[in-house]
Amino acid sequence: MNRDFLYWSHWRRPQGTVAFFDETWTVDPRELQIFFQAEQVYWTAYRTIEQWRRLLACSRMLTARLVPEGHMGGRLVGATRLWSDHAYEAKLYDVVVAQDLMNYGVASELVKWPCGTPGGEVHRFVLETRDATEFYPASASSRAMKWRASTCA
């Protein structure tokens, strides 16, 4: 079994089946760059391939792929990046889902991922967002813990 394969769930959507993978060590930085540009993610618009490589070297990357039944691989349709100090804090960055798969729960699964991922005794989870705070209604002081409690329950 491929250790990078997280789980196969019944994520059947009109477009096909979505599977989630930890591709930290296997994803091609060029594929990430193309995906983020295609989805018009402004905060990654000027990242170079070398910057993507450095980001992957110090964080984990979870991807969502639209896959042929019973196979791995397939079209990249979602991604998120997790950084942790493995002692106190973990931060989730770059949560992006392909526009044609928005509102199907893909982002929710990507955001739930940190609950079982970082090692160590992480006490605080932070979803880094500058302009999507309307999607995360908890107050600023309790946002991280409420997010963790609601997604990890």
Q: What is the pLDDT of residue 142?
A: 40
Domain that holds residue 25: 5-152
DSSP 8-state secondary structure symbol assigned to residue 128:
-
Q: What is the pLDDT of residue 138?
A: 46
* pLDDT tens, residue by residue, 95-131: 899 998 888 888 888 888 777 654 567 778 888 776 6
Residue position matching structure tokens 């982002």: 107
Find the CATH number of the domain harbouring 139.
Answer: 3.40.630.30
* pLDDT tens, residue by residue, 12-32: 666 678 888 888 889 999 999
> Strand, coil or helix: what is 38?
helix
Q: Which two tokens stand for residue 78?
A: 């979602």
Q: Side chain identity at 140, as an amino acid letter?
A: A
Return the minimum-mean-pLDDT range out of 12-26, 46-60, 125-139.
125-139
- Asked if the model's pLDDT at residue 52 lies above 60, the reply is yes
Other C-beta atoms closer than 10 Å to the C-beta of 14 total: 7
Question: Of all residues in the chain, what percent are helix, strand and coil, respectively (each to 5)?
Answer: 30, 30, 40
- Asked if the model's pLDDT at residue 67 lies above 60, the reply is yes
CB 78 within 8 A of CB 103: no
Number of domains in the chain: 1
